[in-house]
Amino acid sequence: MLNQYKIIENNSKTEFAEAFRKRTKKFVVDNIKFFRTLPKTEEAKIIGRQLLRSSSSVGANYRAACRARSQAEFHAKLSIVVEEADESVFWMEILVEAEVVKPNELDYLSDEANQILKIAAASRKTVSAKKY
């Protein structure tokens, strides 16, 4: 019975990891599409590029976390995901507060960045509790 539970638990973790990998990749693609809609001003280009860098790092580092060779490496990559998701939120806030874009233009992306941030931070906390 215990082995069956382990298999179910592992499948559940694998399914979650795959779904979250796809979600972070979509986040990158959505940010690329948003970048294309930005005004052609110098400040929009600069801040937009910063957002592109941080959001693409979210997807790339979660993908790397999924390939981690150890708990410590997984924790390190997940920490980068947390940091870069938070930075993405920051750049989105700057775009709105500097009135480069209207708040409603970033509602979806901002919400998604915050959700990814919360999920990655909770996962990191779980891994930390396991004392890798």
Report the mean per-residue pLDDT for the chain: 91
> What are the tokens at 129?
């509790």
State pTM to two decimals.
Answer: 0.88
pLDDT in tens, 56-86: 999 999 999 999 999 999 999 999 999 999 9
Distances (CA, A) of 53 to 4, 29, 123: 42, 12, 23
When divided into structural domains, the chain yields a total of: 1
Query: Residue 41 maps to which CATH number?
Result: 1.20.1440.60
First to last CA, the chain: 27
Give me the domain span that covers residue 6: 2-129
How many Å apart are CA 77 and CA 46, to the nearest integer? 26
